[in-house]
Amino acid sequence: MRDRSLQLLDWYDVHARSMPWRVPPAERKAGALPDPYGVWLSEVMLQQTTVAAVRDYWRKFMGIWPTVADLAAAEDADVMAAWAGLGYYARARNLLKCARAVVADHGGVFPSDRATLLTLPGIGPYTASAVAAIAFDAPETVLDGNVERVMARLYDVHTPLPAAKPELMALAEALTPRERPGDYAQAVMDLGATICTPKSPACGICPWRDGCAGRIAGTATGLPRKTPKKAVPVRRGIAYVARRADGAWLLETRADKGLLGGMLGFPGSDWSDDPQPAPPMLADWQVLDATARHTFTHFHLELTILWAVVAEDAVPERGHFVGHDTYSPASLPTVMRKVHDLVADSLPIR
DNA sequence: TAACCGTGGCC
DNA sequence: TGGCCAAGGTT
């Protein structure tokens, strides 16, 4: 078993992917470790999110808030705006909570042990192990989607996810070496991301091909098995886009919890089978001849757009006007940016 | 425990 | 083109 993990480390020494938050294996072997703050930030951003999508966001955040103390001192709205487009916005809210907890409860120094990391907001079983292993070289085992797939194939596990998680975790733990656990964690995930991929695994060039039970049995490509998901329903809603005569846009900060929590958006109705109109102010609302469509994790949304131009002294019942000079569609979640894009060209105001 | 929670790329 | 998928956490 030990030999098998060392084989993977040899492979990683040659094939490690380069990432801005990562310290290459040659430097880690010489004793260098990455900044725990940067590792934690990358791991939170990478939750259910591709490396390609994270790269630029990570650089942006590290540029604006280079230390955990800087992030802890940031304005909530600035962090939410910077996170806009990356999705799963509870991560951004928990990111701030976590940064402030590290400053308030841990002297601004990231804890190095898994158990303490687990007590922090937004850090669950995977992220706690990942930060401990990658930032501190602690002998922890990471179990993410990559590792689940690699283990299911390596040991030909047919139990469907998520029921198979404890079994896959036990297999992954048994394989974790005492030497270079941080590199090993990154190596298994790199293997899953580049060789042992979901659809067409490149078994021919896999460092673990010889002992892979799934490859030998011919079952690898179909693993891991997963319990079927249920179909996603369609919900509908109404979005109201009000422009003031001076060009200002009517926006609303959404409630802190739930879908798009804490994000900026256009006021609107509920999203349901039968949405009830809920205009944010009295105005001559016009129906836009275009529907905004967007798919969330668990439902499709079709948004009818109503727009209006209102006087400069108009006072909304909900939301607040944002001046044309400070308004930035990039700071909106994607569904709201779609609404913006559809309506922007049609309005009689620039 | 299972539902909730985004987005963009891929085939 | 639409379902699948990605370095999951919270409730």
Give the mean pLDDT of A319-328: 96
Give the mean pLDDT of A17-22: 96
And the tokens for A140?
Answer: 């922890």
Q: What is the dihedral of CA A262, A268, A270, A273, to 10 degrees?
A: -130
Furthest C-alpha separation in chain A: 74
**Same-domain status, A270 and A193:** no
Strand B and A334 CB separated by under 7 Å: yes
C1' (B2) to CA (A38) span, angstroms: 33
Give the mean pLDDT of A197-209: 95
**Same-domain status, A245 and A210:** no
- CA gap A66, A109 in Å, rounded: 14
pLDDT at position A102: 98
**Same-domain status, A51 and A190:** yes
Residue A73 lies in a domain: yes
C1' (C2) to CA (A106) span, angstroms: 47
**Same-domain status, A238 and A332:** yes
Strand C and A122 CB separated by under 7 Å: yes
Helix axes of A145-154 and A181-194: crossing angle, nearest 10 degrees: 80
Which tens digits make up the pLDDT trace of A137-160?
Answer: 999 999 999 999 999 999 999 999
Task: Write down the mean pLDDT value for chain A.
Answer: 95
Does the pLDDT of residue A19 top 80, yes or no? yes
C1' (C8) to CA (A278) span, angstroms: 35
Structural domain ending residue among the three candidates A222, A250, A265: A222
**Same-domain status, A208 and A59:** yes
And the tokens for A49?
Answer: 């999110």
Residue A43 lies in a domain: yes
Residue A267 lies in a domain: yes
The one catalytic residue among A27, A43, A179, A317: A43
C1' (C3) to CA (A179) span, angstroms: 41
pLDDT at position A41: 98
Structural domain ending residue among the three candidates A222, A243, A267: A222
Burial (Cβ within 10 Å: 0-12, 13-18, ≥19) of residue A112: middle
For residues A118 and A136, the answer to whether their CB atoms sit within 8 Å is no
Give the mean pLDDT of A113-123: 97
And the tokens for A290?
Answer: 């275009």
Residue A228 lies in a domain: no
In this structure, the number of other CB atoms found within 10 A of the CB of residue A194 comes to 14
**Same-domain status, A150 and A260:** no
Residue A56 lies in a domain: yes
Which tens digits make up the pLDDT trace of A206-241?
Answer: 999 999 999 999 999 999 999 888 888 999 999 999
**Same-domain status, A162 and A117:** yes
DSSP-derived secondary structure for A96-138: HHHHHHHHHHSTT----SHHHHHTSTT--HHHHHHHHHHHH--
CATH number for the domain harbouring residue A338? 3.90.79.10
Q: Which domain holds residue A151?
A: 2-222
Which whole-number Å values give the CA distances from A96 to A75, A84, A100, in the listed order? 9, 14, 6
CATH number for the domain harbouring residue A26? 1.10.340.30
C1' (B5) to CA (A295) span, angstroms: 12
Q: Which nucleotide is nearest to A39 (CA to C1')?
A: C7
Q: Which nucleotide is nearest to A231 (CA to C1')?
A: C3
**Same-domain status, A252 and A208:** no
Count of the separate structural domains present in chain A: 2
Strand C and A299 CB separated by under 7 Å: no
Does the pLDDT of residue A269 top 90, yes or no? yes
Residue A270 lies in a domain: yes
Does the pLDDT of residue A16 top 80, yes or no? yes
Q: Report residue A11's pLDDT band, with 50, 70 and 90 as the boundaries.
A: very high
Residue A271 lies in a domain: yes
For residues A247 and A350, the answer to whether their CB atoms sit within 8 Å is yes
Strand B and A227 CB separated by under 7 Å: no
- CA gap A218, A72 in Å, rounded: 51
A43 is catalytic: yes
Strand B nucleotides where any atom sits below 7 Å of a protein CB = 2-9, 11
Residue A133 lies in a domain: yes
Amino acid identity of residue A117, one-letter, is L
pLDDT at position A140: 97
Does the pLDDT of residue A350 top 80, yes or no? no
Give the mean pLDDT of A322-331: 96
Strand C nucleotides where any atom sits below 7 Å of a protein CB = 4-10
For residues A319 and A280, the answer to whether their CB atoms sit within 8 Å is yes
Give the mean pLDDT of A41-59: 97
Does the pLDDT of residue A346 top 90, yes or no? no
Residue whose Cα is closest to the C1' of C10: A122
pLDDT at position A231: 84
Which tens digits make up the pLDDT trace of A72-111?
Answer: 999 999 999 999 999 999 999 999 999 999 999 999 999 9
- CA gap A214, A182 in Å, rounded: 26
**Same-domain status, A218 and A243:** no
**Same-domain status, A150 and A8:** yes
pLDDT at position A2: 61
- CA gap A115, A37 in Å, rounded: 17
Strand B and A90 CB separated by under 7 Å: yes
Structural domain ending residue among the three candidates A170, A196, A222: A222
pLDDT at position A280: 97
**Same-domain status, A6 and A100:** yes
DSSP-derived secondary structure for A262-329: T-EE--B---BSSPPP--SS----EEEEEEEEEE-SS-EEEEEEEEEEE-TT---SSSEEE-TTT--G
Helix axes of A36-45 and A125-136: crossing angle, nearest 10 degrees: 150
Q: What is the DSSP letter of A256?
A: S
Which whole-number Å values give the CA distances from A331 to A85, A182, A262, in the listed order? 8, 35, 12
**Same-domain status, A27 and A174:** yes
Q: Which residue has the tokens 């922890």?
A: A140
Give the mean pLDDT of A277-282: 95
